[in-house]
Amino acid sequence: MSERIPATLIPGDGIGPEIVDATLAALDALGAPFEWDRQVAGLAGVKAEGDPLPAAALDSIRRTRLALKGPLETPSGGGYRSSNVRLREEFQLYANLRPVRTLVPGGRFDKIDLVVVRENLEGLYIGHEHYVKIDDDPHAVAMATGINTRAGCRHILDFAFEHAIATGRRKVTIVHKANIMKALTGIFKETAEQLYEQKYKGRIAMDTVIVDACAMKLVIDPWQFDVLVTTNLFGDILSDLVAGLVGGLGMAPGANIGADAAIFEAVHGSAPDIAGKGLANPIALLLAAAMMLEHVGRHELAARLRQAIDRTLNVDQVRTGDLGGRASTAAFTQALVARIRNG
Ligand code: NAI
């Protein structure tokens, strides 16, 4: 029996606690490989501690350097700044790795196996914004500043190429908008092309595509792509798009990786429209837990979890509503735990 690995657990908001419970049940059935330090953040942090990112949660991640996190709610428009963005900044989690794979065959798009690598700390997404007041309109003009650095581009591009080569991928596609945002995303394309010439040519294929064309190509012929690497905002949008190719947001996990910490989560948000109803699909967070197991070297447990998910979906045909099934979160979890225990 291996020692339990200390890790921070943040159940999150909305459907967060429901999908976290499902994931904990699966991990318990796998022998409880993590020793959890449970913390709150997001709206739950505001309610419990008056802070969407309490110091105790940050201290915990500083200690464990490893976390599993449910979605955290961020108010749109006004209100507090995203705790997700702050967590990524605090721990310099520069790489957001978002793999999507077809798990239920026979859908509109079959045999999808794509990875989106999203830059996580720069670009327009970081929210350096302000309004300019004119006369009596305090919101007369809205401004945002995007910042991409050579070093930041190199960091994420190196990560994407190294990850692609290490996992036996065939091609890395650089997604940009350098025809219009010539500096902001031109630097990303330019750095990619230089890096490829210096380090990666002959080891893996590379091509480039403009983000709008990429979106169209992804829905017409997604199989032409393999690993997509892009700046923060484009990565945010494209990773939801590719989740849609494999059945929706309930199927897409994400890992936020930095030199000193890694935080695993679902790509989706807190889904307030279905929160508390027992309808949520926990697979995205379960797959995030599988990525977390791989990250700490517990590959055999990750493989068992992935196989159990596959058999629950395709042999037992137990599926939640978003996948066209009728199972509640609890019924899916029960079937999954039985598969983990019995194979
Ligand atoms: P969302 O991802 O929560 O929901 C979009 C749609 O997908 C909804 O119809 C929802 O019911 C459905 N959905 C999402 N996950 C599902 C699941 N596991 N099973 C079944 N259906 C699922 O996006 P939305 O509504 O834009 O955001 C809600 C809140 O979540 C916002 O406050 C947002 O800021 C936050 N958010 C947090 C993220 C994080 O913590 N990493 C990521 C994205 C959004």
Question: What are 114-161's pLDDT values in tens digits?
Answer: 999 999 999 998 878 999 999 999 999 999 999 999 999 999 999 999
Residue whose CA lies nearest to ligand 1 atom number 22: 250
Please tell me what DSSP assigns to residue 200: I
Instruction: Report CA-CA distances (Å) from 326 to 198, 251, 279, 332.
Output: 52, 16, 9, 9
The string of pLDDT tens digits covering residues 201-247 is: 999 999 999 999 999 999 999 999 999 999 999 999 999 999 999 99
Tens digit of pLDDT for each residue in 318-329?
A: 999 999 999 999
Q: Is the CB of 71 under 6 A from ligand 1?
A: yes
Average pLDDT for the chain:
96
Task: State how many domains the chain has.
Answer: 2
Mutation to probe ligand 1, out of 118, 268, 326 (largest number of atoms < 8 A from CB): 268
pLDDT over 90 for what percent of the chain?
Answer: 94
Do 141 and 247 sit in the same domain of this protein? yes
- Same domain for 103 and 230, yes or no, is yes
Q: What is the DSSP string of 46-112?
A: HHHHS-SS-HHHHHHHHHH-EEEE------SSSSSPPHHHHHHHHTT--EEEEEEE--STTSSS-S-
207 CA → ligand 1 middle, Å: 31
pLDDT for residue 228: 98
- Given a cut of 80, is residue 2 above it in pLDDT? no
Write down the pLDDT at residue 340.
Answer: 98
Q: Can you give the pLDDT at residue 5?
A: 98
191 & 238 share domain: yes
Q: Which of the following is catalytic: 94, 125, 196, 200? A: 125
Distance in Å, CA 140 to ligand 1 centroid: 30
Confidence band (pLDDT; 50, 70, 90) for 107? confident
* Cα of 16 from ligand 1 centre, angstroms: 10
Phi-psi region of 300 (alpha: psi -120 to 50; beta: other; left: phi over 0): alpha
Of the candidates 336, 286, 281, the one whose C-alpha atom is nearest the C-alpha of residue 308 is 336
Q: Which is the closest atom of ligand 1 to the Cα of 83?
A: 40
Q: What is the pLDDT of residue 1?
A: 57
From the candidates 28, 59, 137, 212, give the one annotated as an active-site residue.
212
CA end-to-end distance (rounded Å), the chain: 19
Maximum CA extent, the chain: 70
pTM of the model as a whole: 0.95
Spacing, Cα 100 to ligand 1 middle (Å): 17
Q: Ligand 1 within 6 A of 148 CB?
A: no
Grouping H, G, I as helix, E, B as strand and the rest as coil, residue 175 is strand
Residue 284 belongs to domain spanning: 1-91+260-343
Domain co-membership, 78 together with 187? no
High-pLDDT (> 70) share of the chain, %: 100
Which residues have a Cβ under 8 Å from the Cβ of 212 and sit 6 or more positions away?
177
127 and 86 belong to one structural domain: no
* Residue 84 shares a structural domain with residue 127: no
CATH of the domain at 311: 3.40.718.10
**What average pLDDT does the segment 181-198 reach?**
97
Q: Are 248 and 325 in contact (CB under 8 A)?
A: no
Q: What is the pLDDT of residue 77?
A: 81
Tell me, what's the pLDDT at 118? 98
Spatial contact of 37 and 66, defined as CB atoms under 8 Å apart: no
Active site includes 236?
yes
Output b/e per residue, 246-273; b: 16+ Cβ within 10 A.
Answer: bbbbbbbbbbbbbeebbbbbbbbbbbee
User: Which stretches of the chain are assigned E, i.e. beta strand?
Assistant: 5-10, 34-38, 66-69, 95-101, 113-119, 123-134, 137-147, 171-176, 205-210, 227-230, 253-257, 262-266
Q: 30 has which bridge partners?
A: none
Ligand 1 pocket mutation, candidates 73, 249, 264, criterion most atoms within 8 A of CB: 249
Q: What integer pLDDT is reported at residue 81 of this predicted model?
A: 87
Ligand 1 atom 27, closest CA: 269
Residue 37 CB less than 6 A away from ligand 1? no
CA gyration radius, the chain: 20
Q: Which of 218, 251, 284 is the last residue of a domain?
A: 251
Other beta carbons less than 10 A from residue 16's beta carbon = 28
**Same structural domain, 143 and 58:** no
Is the CB of residue 322 below 6 angstroms from any atom belonging to ligand 1?
Answer: yes
Ligand 1 centre distance from Cα of residue 250 (Å): 9
Residues 40 and 101 in one domain: no
How many CB atoms lie under 10 A from the CB of residue 21? 16
Domain shared by 98 and 245, yes or no: yes
* Pair 237, 309 in one domain: no
Which pLDDT value is given to residue 343? 86
Rounded mean pLDDT of 309-313? 98
Q: Is the CB of 239 under 6 A from ligand 1?
A: no
Examine the domain organization and report whether 127 and 108 are in the same domain.
Answer: yes
What is the CB neighbour count within 10 angstroms for residue 52? 26
Contact status, residue 224 vs residue 201, Cβ threshold 8 Å:
no
Residues 4-58 pLDDT 10s = 999 999 999 999 999 999 999 999 999 999 999 999 999 999 999 999 999 999 9
Instruction: Dump pLDDT digits (tens) for 281-294.
Output: 999 999 999 999 99
Same domain, 204 and 288: no
pLDDT value for 227: 98
What is the average pLDDT across 258-271? 96
